[in-house]
Amino acid sequence: MVEQHWPAYWNPKQETLPKEELHALQGIKLQGHVQRAWQQSPFHRRLYESAGLTPDKIKGLDDLRRLPFMTRENWMACQAEQPMFGDMLTRDVDDAIRYHLTSGTSGRQPLRVLDSRKDWAWIAEMWCYGFWGFGIRPSDRVFFAFSYGSFIGFWGAHYCCEKIGCMVLPSGNMTTEGRVKQLVEMAATVVCATPTYALRMGQVAAELGIDLAKDGKVRRLIVSGEPAVPATRKLLEEMWGAKVGDTAGMTEIGTIMIFECEQQPGGTHIIEDHFIEEVIDPETLEPVPMGGRGERIVTSFGRGFIPLIRYRTRDLVQRIPHDSCSCGRTGDIYQGGILGRVDDMKCIRGTNVYPRAVETIIREYADIEEFQILLTREAGIRDEITVQVELKPDSAESWQKLEKNLGKDLAEAHEGLRFNLSKAAEGELPRFELKAKRMQDRRGD
């Protein structure tokens, strides 16, 4: 096969567009998008009428903040009032070619979404920005450690790889052992999984006597579905002998809106010609200045069936300028990708605890295979935090020593807060393929 010289960008014209022009483009798209939502979605018309707004007031990006927020709550309420999809669809249900659901990780009623043929093609297209940007090319063999169910997950990435011309290796309902064997046997060069499940595959490979870094051909791991903390990424890169590229998306838009480029700047570029991303203070709802942390608000131009305009995601992010990366893209960066959820923070005896921070410390301990964080309320008044730890089967580490050191590290990172530690039996703690759920708050039980 003749080797073709490809550009580094999927879309060289727009990915390097000067910021001023990018904002002008977003403004033009916003106008049209709001107009269509008003005309075709009763939900949006009601939302805008209640804010005293008509589409003619939206003349460009400067008018963005005049638009009211969409929230998961008003979306769920709309679906509950008019099952199954509420009245936010802009087209007839029969025009849809796909039906998906949110994962239900939060324990609430899942959101139901529909996509047209065009929407579905766009969903794959956004993944193309990310995959191409992270160096995936037609000669790659891409293994999907994904169950291909109603959760949207890597569905769009699968079609993206077909479009790029990669060899797609779907693993559907295979066992972890079967997946590990197949990706080695088929010489997969790229693996897509959640960070948690990529770790799990590495652990199972070790149990099978397979050294993924030596026996496998994987050169890129593309992770999505949950925050990838730096310590976990480091662990994955050593385990697989591959670069780890972070991406993040959501069922509400159907695809990814951010991706890590080959330069690995420590964050993910926003696909700004298809999305408008804002960062606000979740309490005051005011914009957070560049570099500050806040809640991300997304407006997506791609899914025609369900217009998503100023949607409150509850994702915690820190936006930094595009030029902090040397790749030349003009899409700004979320430092560290999605940092967590704005409501992830737990207050234990006056100290703020983020699951991501706890995981970062735990992943520094190579002997720990899995963990769970349990919050309880003792005697109806005193909050306790317990970390259950499962060691690797071949761990030679003394539990007493690990308990002492880990307890000290966790306390030092949390203003002296005492963490209880308990040792779980081998295989006792849950494993995850999709989004990991490692914190249980039982204080209200």
Partner 1 sequence: MSESSRTGQKDLLGRELSEEEREVLDLYQRLRKLAARSDLAPCISMNAKQAMVMLWNACTDLGLIHEEAEVD
CB of 164 to partner 1, least distance (A): 13
Q: Closest separation between CB of residue 333 and partner 1, Å?
A: 21
Q: Report the nearest approach of partner 1 to the CB of residue 126 (Å).
A: 10
Nearer to partner 1, 25 or 424 (CB): 25
Residue 28 is a binding residue for partner 1 (CB under 8 A): yes
Q: 270 or 338: whose CB is closer to partner 1?
A: 270
By CB under 8 A, residue 165 contacts partner 1: no
* Interactions with partner 1, residue window 74-103 (CB under 8 A): 90-91, 95
CB nearer to partner 1: pick between 47 and 160: 160
- Binding-site size, partner 1 (CB under 8 A): 27
Using the rule CB under 8 A, is 418 a contact of partner 1?
Answer: no
Residues 114-143 that bind partner 1 (CB under 8 A): 116-118, 120-122, 125
Based on the shown chain and the rule CB under 8 A, indicate whether residue 301 belongs to the binding site for partner 1.
yes
- Report yes or no: 354 and 331 within 8 Å, Cβ to Cβ: no
Contact call for residues 205 and 214 (beta carbons, < 8 A): no
The burial class, CB within 10 Å (0-12 / 13-18 / 19+), for 415 is exposed
**Integer angstrom CA distances of residue 262 from 132, 165, 221, 368:** 9, 19, 12, 30
| CA separation for the pair 429, 220 (Å, rounded) | 28
The DSSP secondary structure of 395-432, one letter per residue, reads: ----HHHHHHHHHHHHHHHTTTPPPEEEEPPTT-S---
Cα separation, 15 vs 273, whole angstroms: 8
Does 369 participate in binding partner 1 (rule CB under 8 A)? no
Query: Rounded to the nearest whole angstrom, what is the least distance from the CB of residue 130 to partner 1 in the complex?
Result: 14
Whose tokens are 């259950």? That residue is 388
Cα maximum dimension of the chain: 72
List all residues 6 or more positions away from 398 whose beta carbon is below 8 Å from its beta carbon.
none
Query: What are the two backbone dihedrals, phi and then psi, of residue 205, each rounded to the nearest 5 degrees?
Result: -60, -45
| Site mask for partner 1 (CB under 8 A), range 34-63, x = bound | --x---------------------------
Among 20-28, 220-228, 276-284, 404-412, the segment contacting partner 1 (CB under 8 A): 20-28
The closest alpha carbon to 389, from 372, 367, 408, 411, belongs to 372
DSSP state of 390: E
- Of residues 28 and 285, the one with the C-beta less far from partner 1: 28
134 or 240: whose CB is closer to partner 1? 134
DSSP secondary structure letter of residue 151: B
Residues 8, 16, 19, 29: which binds partner 1 (CB under 8 A)? Answer: 29
Shortest separation between residue 29's beta carbon and partner 1, angstroms: 5
Six token digits for residue 174: 């295979």
Q: Which residues bind partner 1 (CB under 8 A)?
A: 10-11, 13-14, 21, 24-25, 28-29, 32-33, 36, 90-91, 95, 116-118, 120-122, 125, 273-274, 301-302, 304
